[in-house]
Amino acid sequence: MTFSDEQKQTAAKPFMVEDLISLALRVGVIISSIVTTGGLILLLTTGQSGYPDATFPTSIIEVLHGLIQLKSFAIIEFGLLILLATPIFWVTASTVAFFLRRDYNYTLISAYVLLILLLSLFLGKAG
């Protein structure tokens, strides 16, 4: 069996940071879509959100408690939390990958972006 030059280059291609970033983003979006769709299907089949009147979980702890109890709104919100966590995971993975490649300029830039993301997550307020 013979390989073409393109197949040899593809087989010998080292794992790149861009591959890691692409994989992290795709996996995050796919998992988020599956979880959110599952919650939507549960909501449509049961007709109930799992919460009284027009209320819904407003904290991560409430979402996790509702997720354990299989409440449809909590499942949908968990899917959205996964979607929100995807960029944070992506920047963390990039920081580690740049550090392992000894690319310290990009490591510092990625760490700075991660710091800004985490600060905005923990210090930000809605409404």
- Residues 104, 47: Cα–Cα separation, whole Å: 53
Question: What's residue 97's pLDDT?
Answer: 83
CB-side neighbour CA atoms (13 Å) of 6: 0
Question: What's residue 6's pLDDT?
Answer: 56
Question: What's residue 127's pLDDT?
Answer: 43
Could you read off the pLDDT of 27-62 as tens digits, one per residue? 989 999 999 999 999 989 988 877 788 777 878 888
- Residues 100, 93: Cα–Cα separation, whole Å: 11
Question: What's residue 17's pLDDT?
Answer: 65
Token couple for 107: 């490591």
Token couple for 82: 């996964």
Q: Under a CB-based contact definition with an 8 Å cutoff, are residues 80 and 99 in contact? A: no
Question: What's residue 35's pLDDT?
Answer: 94
Task: Supply the pTM of this predicted model.
Answer: 0.71
More confident site: 99 or 4: 99
CA angle at 30 for the pair 27 and 36, rounded to the nearest 5°? 135
Domain ranges of the chain: 18-123
